[in-house]
Structure 1
Amino acid sequence: MAADQIRRWESGALAHGVSDPFGQGPLPWLRGEPEYLGDDGQVVPWYVDLAASSGETPRRSHLPGPRTADDVRRQIKGFASAGAVSPGEPIDFRITVDPPQEFTVDVYRIGHYGGDGASQVSASPRLSGIAQPAPLAAGRTISCHHWWQSWRLQIPPHWRTGAYVAVLTTVDGYRSHVPFTVRDPAARADLLLLLPDVTWQAYNLYPEDGRTGASLYHAWDEAGRLLGEEEAAGTVSFDRPYAGAGLPLHIGHAYDFVRFAERYGYDLAYADARDLHAGRVDPSLYRGLVFPGHDEYWSAPMRRAAEGARDMGTSLVFLSANTMYWQVELASSPAGDPDRLLSCRKPRGDTRGRGSLWRDLGEPEQLVLGVQYAGRVPQPSPLVVRNAGHWLWEATGAAEGDRVEGLVAGEADRYFPRTALPESTERILLAHSPYEAADGRRCHQETSLYRSPSGAYVFASGTFAWSPALDRPGHVDARIQRATANLLDRICKHG
């Protein structure tokens, strides 16, 4: 394989970079100034610098820093035994190091932290690394379930629930990441944040090496060419690292909301999508469930849980687009661990084949969201305010027809008049935003809010760019921050 071909895959975002409307690849939530480059030219995340949590001045881009591991040479890559774990429970990490050498694991919690964005909460001793066996392949399904355990982290009972990242660093300076969630299923809170780990795994192309990796979107042929959905995996495994730097492609959209919500002191609990699937979420403990990132892949138990929450009076907040689009199934790994295999039936060549779109199965996503997926947005476009007198827009300064530049991006939802709507006592569209599709068609995006007969609110932003507008440098918009606060405050106080 030529060196230029290898470099194409080191970013971890070759296959899907175009779907990130902000062009920041596999680490879209990086800070602007406190970044630095490794000696291979890769951007290294600001939050892995210990100085960022100690109040010292972070290293700047002209100073040397760690290098990002890649999927070709696998300098250091790893994954966790579970997506979410409770305080007092263990979480195991399986890590490969090539060449074998010592490494460390530093654990960070994502949050506002005075603008740092994360705080270090734990550090391992130096650990002995080994080069694990090559990933196993069963058809297009790639798994590393046969890797040896490298380190066990016993979650201290005092740790806060939240989104965490384990930072893996070799002695010779290569670095990778493993995200996980700390949950407390019995704890009451105003809002439960559900991190979309099912969708994250659907996009995971590990190993992104031009030979063996596969996601639900892509795979490689023998010549190293990237193939589309017709040749992609039908089943993917959670028992493998994430491609590239080790963080999911769309993780930044969720972390933008996490920083915003923690900055303003909302009472939060955390879980992931597989907790919702497995029945570990009790909606009666919360006033609202928040889906803060791109959340495209839903199992039937996930959907039933969300519908049940709404119907019992727990509000639902969807801060992205293309939500609840594909129906998926979860199954145990070959080792018997539950919910480690993700399957989705997509049409494969035969145009008469029936896939697993919820709308094609008789349950359009509009029945839950109030709107549904309309298509991709090639270039960021303005969100155009509608019904500016509504309480959502109160104190934002937004007037009817005002344009919030760049807020319709990535993908968009809209109301489909010929598709059934959910039962509601109130329903309103709060944005109606024209944009041009890739083929030149005139399309539009819409933001929806309705109130269920149970009293629950259901909000759908209808765009990828809503969460980034809350706390991502260069994309923050005070009107969207205030509108989101209006929504959350109403849910927390009156939901």
Structure 2
Amino acid sequence: MVTEQVRRWESGALAHGVNDPFGQGPLPWLRGSETYFDGTGRMVPWYVDPDGCGPAGGTCGHGPRTADDVHRQIKGFTSTPAAAPGEAIDFRITVDPPQQFAVDVYRIGHYAGDGAAKITTSPRLSGIVQPPPLTADRTVSCHHWWLSWRLQIPTYWNLGAYVAVLTTADGYRSHIPFTVRDDRPADLLLVLPDVTWQAYNLYPEDGRTGASLYHAWDEHGRLLGEQEAAVTVSFERPYAGAGLPLHVGHAYDFIRWAERYGYDLAYADTRDLHAGRVDPTRYRGLVFPGHDEYWSVPMRRAVEQARDGGTSLVFLSANTMYWQVELTPSPAGPDRLLTCRKRRGPGRSALWRETAAPEQELIGIQYAGRVPEPHPMVVRNAGHWLWEATGAGEGDELPGMVAGEADRYFPRTTLPPHIRRILLAHSPYTDGEGALRHQETSLYRAPSGALVFASGTFAWSPALDRPGHVDERIQRATANLLDRICKRD
């Protein structure tokens, strides 16, 4: 029955969201003036979710409803996730039943607290039902979908993180994220973790077809675990559910805060780093704003070379660079397939720490485990310049700042080469088995002079600009760090 499929769809979303206590619906913090007619002729904001409507929607009469992967009311993806001004982004979109739709393009930023600004709107477009996804060995791909709309990016557009909001004539909506990047010099390069986003993507969450590096479905519609999940996933498909990646909000939290205070940002995706489309040595610092768990060898090599050349690194989450992955071509183009073999079958482990290069050798700390319930972050070395003017004293507790997942220093694991190194938080928490563990926040200065900061928690970026999670001490500490990297007066 359809209701069972929807229940399975929900279970897939919940299974992925369990590690992120900051999960939220698609862009609820957008507060613009965009309005649409609902079924009764009233005007309603596009971001309003209908009361009492489940993921499958229905004729609720309250404005746009979120599309889902069971009915595929409207779903889509971009063939090129990042492009420069003057280049084009191709959108491949399915609409069921076939009808007209439009695409509103928003840029993420502060924008006086709105969170984003509408940049352009497509003409009315004719939607078609695209073919079902192709599957092979649990790899799901939609590379055979027809082109629906080509967005030519004007040369005057600002670099940044963008979201395309798709809305059908009968009031269903979905989202597609993309990036406008360039190789212009800037103080900071913000690296969006699209490789990790795809690793978690269970599209389609339909109880039958979808698969990620974590889950898949069996023939009875039961959600299977990691041992039965995909080994290879494709970038040529929509994101599940509402069309935005899991954990995407962490990056948007940082962007809104950083643009509010005028930091000079350039933008790239992790695949840009992998393919060498950006030169990280051109920037004073690289910022990794969100959950960034999956790294290829070229990604790590590029970041290490940047650090060794004097470029600082800022890791604002936890569980960074845990799995080693390969990016390979598909018939649609290069770097379209993501493979992580994890622990299945013969051969070497895919864990960085079980190779000759544990992640601590770059980051300064590494993944320790999940944090079932938020715990306070306990300040250490409060006299350090990072905590200057925050009001935080030695041993002070910052409520809820250890959450989701946590990192710590591993004494038996090699440290990176450093001139100075300091731990700026040491926070006890209880894990899922009831054992007492601890989180740590790390900072070291490399021989090149580069600073390498690692927050060691999922809660850092949300504390910058997430409603209900803002912590002014974390905001000030982050500003202290970035100001020093950017050499602000």
Match runs of 1:239-258 below 5 Å? 239-258=236-255
1:441 equivalent to 2:435? Answer yes
Contact 1:111 1:119 in 2 (8 A): yes
Q: Distance in 2 between matches of 1:85 and 1:272?
A: 10
Match runs of 1:266-281 below 5 Å? 266-281=263-278
Letter in 2 for 1:285: R
User: 2:238 is paired with a residue of what secondary structure?
Assistant: coil
- Inter-CA distance 322–406: structure 2 relative to 1 (3 Å threshold): same
Shift of 1:354: 4.1
Task: Give the alignment's TM-score, normalised by structure 2.
Answer: 0.93
Shift of 1:10: 5.3
Q: Distance in 1 between matches of 2:106 and 2:421?
A: 41
Aligned to 2:90: 92
User: 2:18 is paired with a residue of what secondary structure?
Assistant: helix
Shift of 1:345: 1.1
- Inter-CA distance 40–131: structure 2 relative to 1 (3 Å threshold): farther
Candidates 361, 368, 380, aligned match of 2:362:
368
Q: Distance in 2 between matches of 1:370 and 1:137?
A: 40
Candidates 275, 279, 296, aligned match of 1:282:
279
User: 2:335 is paired with a residue of what secondary structure?
Assistant: coil
User: 2:434 is paired with a residue of what secondary structure?
Assistant: coil
1:220 equivalent to 2:213? Answer no
User: 1:104 is paired with a residue of what secondary structure?
Assistant: strand
1:6 equivalent to 2:9? Answer no
Aligned to 1:52: none
Task: Please list the CA deviations of residues 166-218 of structure 1 after superposition, one character each: whole Å capped at 9, or x if unmatched.
Answer: 11110000000000000012x01000000000000000000000101000000
Task: Please list the CA deviations of residues 206-258 of structure 1 after superposition, one character each: whole Å capped at 9, or x if unmatched.
Answer: 00001010000000001111101100000000000000000001100110000
Shift of 1:282: 1.2
Aligned to 2:174: 176
Contact 1:94 1:149 in 2 (8 A): yes
Contact 1:12 1:244 in 2 (8 A): no
- Inter-CA distance 479–322: structure 2 relative to 1 (3 Å threshold): same
1:22 equivalent to 2:56? Answer no
Aligned to 2:391: 397
- Inter-CA distance 12–130: structure 2 relative to 1 (3 Å threshold): farther
Letter in 1 for 2:82: A
Gapped regions of structure 1 (runs ≥ 5): 44-61
Task: Please list the CA deviations of residues 313-359 of structure 1 after superposition, one character each: whole Å capped at 9, or x if unmatched.
Answer: 00000000000000000011123x111100001113x6x86430001
User: 1:14 is paired with a residue of what secondary structure?
Assistant: helix
Letter in 1 for 2:288: F
User: 1:270 is paired with a residue of what secondary structure?
Assistant: strand
1:378 equivalent to 2:376? Answer no
Task: Please list the CA deviations of residues 81-131 of structure 1 after superposition, one character each: whole Å capped at 9, or x if unmatched.
Answer: 111100000110000000000000110000000000000001001000000
Match runs of 1:308-347 below 5 Å? 308-335=305-332, 337-347=333-343
Shift of 1:164: 0.1
Aligned to 2:53: 41
Shift of 1:7: 4.1
Candidates 424, 428, 440, aligned match of 2:422:
428
Letter in 1 for 2:341: R
Shift of 1:32: 9.4
Letter in 1 for 2:91: F
1:117 equivalent to 2:129? Answer no
- Inter-CA distance 494–110: structure 2 relative to 1 (3 Å threshold): closer
Q: Distance in 2 between matches of 1:74 and 1:262?
A: 35
User: 2:14 is paired with a residue of what secondary structure?
Assistant: coil
Task: Please list the CA deviations of residues 21-42 of structure 1 after superposition, one character each: whole Å capped at 9, or x if unmatched.
Answer: 1353x54x53399963226536
Letter in 2 for 1:431: A
- Inter-CA distance 172–11: structure 2 relative to 1 (3 Å threshold): farther
- Inter-CA distance 225–339: structure 2 relative to 1 (3 Å threshold): same
Letter in 2 for 1:37: D
Letter in 2 for 1:161: L
User: 1:214 is paired with a residue of what secondary structure?
Assistant: coil
Letter in 2 for 1:430: L
User: 1:428 is paired with a residue of what secondary structure?
Assistant: strand
Q: Distance in 2 between matches of 1:107 and 1:70?
A: 20
Shift of 1:65: 2.3
Identity %: 77
Q: Distance in 2 between matches of 1:63 and 1:148?
A: 31
User: 1:484 is paired with a residue of what secondary structure?
Assistant: helix
User: 1:249 is paired with a residue of what secondary structure?
Assistant: coil
Q: Distance in 2 between matches of 1:284 and 1:307?
A: 10
Task: Please list the CA deviations of residues 450-482 of structure 1 after superposition, one character each: whole Å capped at 9, or x if unmatched.
Answer: 000000000000000000000000000000000
Shift of 1:20: 1.6
Contact 1:10 1:72 in 2 (8 A): no
Q: Distance in 2 between matches of 1:283 and 1:188?
A: 10
Match runs of 1:64-143 below 5 Å? 64-143=62-141
1:471 equivalent to 2:465? Answer yes
Size of the aligned set, in residue pairs, is: 472
Contact 2:408 2:440 in 1 (8 A): yes
User: 1:469 is paired with a residue of what secondary structure?
Assistant: helix
4+ aligned runs moved over 6 Å, structure 1: none
Aligned to 1:417: 411
Candidates 205, 208, 214, aligned match of 2:205:
208
- Inter-CA distance 11–71: structure 2 relative to 1 (3 Å threshold): farther
Q: Distance in 2 between matches of 1:230 and 1:11?
A: 18
User: 1:332 is paired with a residue of what secondary structure?
Assistant: strand
- Inter-CA distance 320–382: structure 2 relative to 1 (3 Å threshold): same
- Inter-CA distance 355–23: structure 2 relative to 1 (3 Å threshold): same
Q: Distance in 1 between matches of 2:11 and 2:166?
A: 17
Candidates 303, 308, 311, aligned match of 1:306:
303
Q: CA RMSD in A?
A: 1.9
1:291 equivalent to 2:288? Answer yes
Contact 1:387 1:430 in 2 (8 A): yes
User: 1:222 is paired with a residue of what secondary structure?
Assistant: coil
Shift of 1:9: 1.4
- Inter-CA distance 39–146: structure 2 relative to 1 (3 Å threshold): farther
1:190 equivalent to 2:202? Answer no
Task: Please list the CA deviations of residues 375-427 of structure 1 after superposition, one character each: whole Å capped at 9, or x if unmatched.
Answer: 00000000000000000000000000000000100000000000000000010
Letter in 2 for 1:108: Y
- Inter-CA distance 209–181: structure 2 relative to 1 (3 Å threshold): same
Aligned to 2:262: 265
